[in-house]
Amino acid sequence: MAAVYKVRHQQLNSAHALKLLFVSSPAISKRLIREGRVQASLRHPNIVAVTDVLVVEEGPALVMEYVDGPPLDEWMVDRKLTVDEALHVFRGVVLAIAHAHSLGIAHRDLKPANILLARTNDGLVPKITDFGLMKALGADTGGQTMGGVPMGTPNYMSPEQIRDAASVDKRTDVFALGCILYELITGVEVFPGNSQYEIYQRILIGDYKPVTELVDEVPRHVVRAIEMCLMTERNERLSDCDMLFDMLYDQSVTFGATVTRGEAIQLESVDASRPDEPDDFEDTEITDVNDSPARPRNIDDDARRKLDITILTTVSALLLTAVVAGGTWLYLERAKAARAQAQVQTPAPIVPATPVPKPEPAPPKDLGPRPESWATVIVEGDAQTVWLARGILEFYLRPNAHVAPQTYAIHAVFDDEDPVVAGELVVEQDLDITLRCEQATRTCTPQL
């Protein structure tokens, strides 16, 4: 429905990109203008800037910054990335989408073709483009998206986006980010298929090959991040880009080991008894990346255990059961403070074997009001690190952490030794709980 041309400003002699519609209709023109306004408002070094709107042959056209570089899907052809290279490219993509989400915008069409790699003196810089299918989060879209209709690019659509594109939130972008990271690391699409129906079916039931079957020596936290982005039930998925950023790049959140090819990551519950809008657009070739810390987050801790799967018109529904975990309030607030202090940095060139730059964690600041009906957990004693686990999720405790009411397994590290299951914590509403961790017994005992 549109094409992007490289154009030259006659007075400034500067290069720009011009997105021009092929089809002329009031609805499509309105959507293009809306796309331009949204993209112009997202001022971020990893998002392609829209600078003007022109009238060309009685129709609107968007003037955008010209990105001298290939789209990510073309760049990845016949190229085998290391995990560090993949994470370096992916970093800017996550930060760009976190920025859009912080301003109430969901992209809804994230894919490698919509990520351009700008060639700069400091290396390749990813930039996000094509907000033609964007959705204003928490707002009435004014009929821009027809309810009950899938909208997006099939291989990167979340299950809820397949069922109804009008009802999605920022977690649908988190799902697409998981697909992109999987493809960067493995070199293949996470949900391949010979037809749109087959792709949808794989997505709806979460049918994909684990990363560890395709790539050797993948860090455990990277595998876990992909798994949690690709959860079919969105209430079990990572709730925002900031959680994803922390899992991948926060030095204080560690999962320990790498995973060799064929090794399965244990995702079962921990046993504490053990000792140890209606029209679509053609893809635009513009995208972007950023090396600053991620945005503040809001984590959805409500438990949901039903997965209602609809595979298209006449396909029967499947029911799966899953466990939803809670998080800690302070962990989220610490990330907010760290990001508020950090500066946007220009990413370094992609060089094999070069470590991915990571933000320095900042000390926690004022936590603000305490969440209603949550408990305060204080850790004392000899443990170096303490975290709570429920199902596949693990949450590290900072000083005076706020924890949702749940039953958790307590994990701890003493004297740089291997982590142990140090007990069980039953969190009830509005309690002040102290975890006393003893090196001698290698246990953490709750004290009300």
- The dihedral sign for the CA sequence 138, 104, 180, 35: positive
Polymer length in residues for the chain:
448
Identify the pLDDT of residue 395. 67
Q: What is the mean pLDDT of residues 397-413?
A: 77
**pLDDT score of 293 more than 90:** no
Residue 400 region by backbone torsions, left for phi larger than 0, else alpha for psi between -120 and 50, else beta:
left
CATH of 72-330, one of 1.10.510.10, 3.20.20.80, 2.70.98.10, 3.40.50.300: 1.10.510.10
DSSP-assigned beta bridge partners for residue 318: 309
User: Is the separation of the CB atoms in 205 and 215 below 8 Å?
Assistant: no
The two three-digit tokens of residue 227, written as one number: 């798994």
Residues above pLDDT 70, as percent of the chain: 67
What does DSSP say about strands 375-381 and 432-438: parallel, antiparallel, or unpaired? parallel
The two three-digit tokens of residue 131, written as one number: 């907000």
CA distance 283 to 199: 20
Identify the pLDDT of residue 84. 93
Identify the pLDDT of residue 258. 55
**pLDDT score of 222 more than 60:** yes
CA distance 51 to 152: 25
Identify the pLDDT of residue 21. 81
CA distance 368 to 133: 35
**pLDDT score of 447 more than 60:** yes
**pLDDT score of 305 more than 50:** no
Greater confidence, 433 or 261? 433
In whole numbers, what is the pLDDT of the chain averaged over residues?
74
Identify the pLDDT of residue 413. 85
Identify the pLDDT of residue 47. 94
For helices 329-341 and 241-249, angle between their N-to-C axes, nearest 10 degrees: 80
Q: Picking from 103-117, 226-240, 311-325, which range would have the lowest pLDDT averaged per residue? A: 311-325
User: Is the separation of the CB atoms in 174 and 160 below 8 Å?
Assistant: no
Q: Picking from 39-48, 226-235, 344-353, which range would have the lowest pLDDT averaged per residue? A: 344-353
User: Is the separation of the CB atoms in 299 and 254 below 8 Å?
Assistant: no
Q: What is the mean pLDDT of residues 236-251?
A: 90
**pLDDT score of 402 more than 70:** yes
What does DSSP say about strands 420-426 and 385-390: parallel, antiparallel, or unpaired? unpaired
Identify the pLDDT of residue 176. 96
**pLDDT score of 347 more than 50:** no
Identify the pLDDT of residue 1. 76
Greater confidence, 167 or 249? 249
CA distance 329 to 311: 36
Burial class from Cβ neighbours inside 10 Å (0-12, 13-18, 19+) for residue 7 reads middle
Q: Which amino acid is at 448?
A: L
Q: Picking from 12-16, 92-96, 200-204, 410-414, which range would have the lowest pLDDT averaged per residue? A: 410-414
Greater confidence, 326 or 376? 376
Whether the model pTM is above 0.75: no
**pLDDT score of 53 more than 80:** yes
Q: Which residues contact 150 (CB under 8 A, 6 or more apart)?
A: 157, 161, 162, 163, 164, 165, 200
Residue tagged active-site, from 68, 73, 78, 109 = 109
Identify the pLDDT of residue 251. 60
CATH of 371-448, one of 2.40.160, 3.40.50, 1.20.120, 2.60.40: 2.60.40
- List of E strands, 250-391: 258-259, 307-309, 318-320, 375-381, 385-390
- The dihedral sign for the CA sequence 41, 100, 43, 297: positive
Q: Which among 399, 398, 445, 437 has a CA at the least distance from the CA of 419? A: 437
CA distance 142 to 147: 12
Greater confidence, 405 or 67? 67
The pLDDT confidence band at residue 14, using thresholds 50, 70 and 90, is: very high
Q: How far is CA 433 from CA 50, 190, 439, 447, in A?
A: 51, 42, 19, 6
Q: Picking from 61-75, 210-224, 246-260, 418-432, which range would have the lowest pLDDT averaged per residue? A: 246-260
pLDDT digit string, tens, across residues 156-191? 999 999 988 778 899 999 999 999 999 999 999 999
Which residue has tokens 């060089």?
351
Burial class from Cβ neighbours inside 10 Å (0-12, 13-18, 19+) for residue 360 reads exposed
The superfamily CATH assigns to domain 2-65 is: Phosphorylase Kinase; domain 1 (3.30.200.20)
Residue 366: CA count within 13 A, CB half-sphere: 2
Reply yes or no on whether 109 is catalytic: yes
Secondary structure (DSSP) of 178-229: HHHHHHHHHSS-SS--SSHHHHHHHHHHT----GGGTSSSEEHHHHHHHHHH
The two three-digit tokens of residue 235, written as one number: 């209430």
Residue 262 region by backbone torsions, left for phi larger than 0, else alpha for psi between -120 and 50, else beta:
left
**pLDDT score of 438 more than 70:** yes
Q: Which residues contact 275 (CB under 8 A, 6 or more apart)?
A: 420, 421
The pLDDT confidence band at residue 29, using thresholds 50, 70 and 90, is: confident
Q: Which residues contact 316 (CB under 8 A, 6 or more apart)?
A: none
CA-atom Rg of the chain in angstroms: 23
Q: Which among 293, 277, 333, 350 has a CA at the least distance from the CA of 123? A: 350
pLDDT digit string, tens, across residues 349-398? 444 444 445 444 444 333 334 444 577 888 888 888 888 877 645 666 76
Residue 194 region by backbone torsions, left for phi larger than 0, else alpha for psi between -120 and 50, else beta:
alpha
The pLDDT confidence band at residue 122, using thresholds 50, 70 and 90, is: confident
Identify the pLDDT of residue 273. 33
The domain limits of the chain are 2-65, 72-330, 371-448
CA distance 164 to 150: 5
Among 57-61, 98-102, 327-331, 347-351, top mean pLDDT goes to 98-102
Which residue has tokens 């686990």?
389
3-class SS at 37? helix
